[in-house]
Amino acid sequence: MKDKLGREINYLRISVTKRCNLNCSYCGSKRITKEKELTPEEIKILVSAFAEKGIKKVRLTGGEPLLREDITEIAREIKSIKGIKALYITTNGILLKEKALALKEAGVDGVNISIDTLDPEKYHELTGVNKLSAVMEGFYEALKVGFSSVKINSVLVRGKNDTEAERLIALAKKNKADVRFIELMPFSEQGENRELVITEKELLERFSYLVPLKENEQGAAKYYTADGFSGRVGFISPRSRKFCKDCNRIRVLSDGKLKPCLGNDKTYDIRPFISDKNKLSQIIDEVILNKPVSHHFEDGDFFRGLNLIGG
């Protein structure tokens, strides 16, 4: 289905929990205790409704989605839905080693792992836990079990972990994985400080040996490579390189609210209509059609915590 700007909306990001086992400084929210979340059945109904509208790709997010004990059941149910061609999951990686194989067998095609530093002390400072070794074990397990896509997402913050870029890029050289740098966004007081943002332009000047790929896949990331690299280096730059005109995604939050834009506070509660197929279909049509033109990060707007939105 297309919105009023003619953008084809075919990518659904669905948060399965607000809970997280980290407390990252740029996220904007403290750890949240378990509260009522969408059930696997409710998630399947919602994804099925979106699939009928042309959604082909689904990503499970959080919070930390692997905290859900039924995450493999959720994945299996989604992948069985007619029209869903690809299923991915974004995780902090702490629980990935023990769950990677089960996720792949359940139909998950690829994983994105959040890793902002390869220094254990910095990792502890940034996340509040001393779990970098578990994250790296999860990363290598993901490569081992053979996901079609393994990506590292990294948010660099000036004065905190910006010196880590070279070490992270080395992971893309040595492994068949993509390392992607995501610009700091305004989901916390830290994100509101523009001086802390490390831009794509700045990193490309530092690592001038990176060359753009001739054909970049559709999406927010722009990819680069270099001689001898097994993987790629990507940049997701919503503040310095706005890509809203090509946005193809929509979000469902863990409490059943539909959010058409990451950088817009407008949400629509669709959970009450899960049992009403016609009404649910009507609301989805209206929300997609009227998807906001763009985010407003450049205006300094502040948005609620990232773990509440699903990234």
- On whether residue 4 sits in a domain, the answer given is no
Q: Provide mean pLDDT across the span 260-275.
A: 89
Does the pLDDT of residue 126 top 60, yes or no? yes
The full DSSP string for 204-243 is HHHTTT-EE-SSPPSSS-EEEE-TT-SSEEEEE-TTTS--
Banded pLDDT at 8 (limits 50, 70, 90): very high
Residue type, 169: I
- On whether residue 3 sits in a domain, the answer given is no
Q: What whole-number percentage of the chain has pLDDT above 90?
A: 73
Q: Which structure tokens are listed for 276?
A: 């009403």
> Residues 248, 260: contact at Cβ < 8 Å?
no
CATH number of 46's domain: 3.20.20.70
- On whether residue 2 sits in a domain, the answer given is no
pLDDT value at residue 191: 43
- On whether residue 5 sits in a domain, the answer given is no
d(Cα 205, Cα 199) in Å, to the nearest integer?
10
pLDDT value at residue 245: 78
- On whether residue 114 sits in a domain, the answer given is yes
Please give the model's pTM, rounded to 2 decimal places: 0.90
pLDDT value at residue 264: 77
Domain count, the chain: 1
User: pLDDT tens-digit profile of 170-197?
Assistant: 999 999 999 999 988 655 455 445 678 8
- On whether residue 205 sits in a domain, the answer given is yes
Which domain, by its residues, includes 172? 11-309
